[in-house]
Amino acid sequence: MTMNEKRLVVITALLLVLLIVKSVVFDPNLGKLSVEQNEFVEAVRTTMDEMYDDKLMYKSTLVTARIVKIQDLNADEVVKFEVEESIELNYHYKAKVRKYFLWVIPIGEITLMK
């Protein structure tokens, strides 16, 4: 193995270690949450369980989904969605959910609102 190949292997190993640390330590840390935010987190987890309950990759835990960010929307950012003429939904919280392959490799993100 030449010197350049050894350097590439070392750099790849270091980047893999950084990805593992980021995915395991930093992403799942939501910090201190208010009571409303904790209720929102539970609602998001329930929604994720319902969405992915019948998927084989999630059942076998090859793919996992974690909430990585909770955001309060300001008054101007509140999303209004009209279901019918008489029903209007206002979303005040936004959650970023990241999907991981083998608990480490990010493979996608979705955003859920309440």
Cβ neighbours around 48 below 10 Å, total: 20
Q: What 3-state DSSP class applies to 73? A: coil
Q: What is the pLDDT of residues 38-93, one digit of tens each?
A: 888 888 888 888 877 778 877 787 888 888 888 877 655 555 555 555 555 556 77
Let me know: does 90 contact 5? Beta carbons within 8 Å: no
Is residue 94 very low, low, confident or very high in pLDDT (cuts 50, 70, 90)? confident
Residue with tokens 């609102």: 113
Question: CA-CA distance, 70 to 15, in Å (whole number)?
Answer: 27
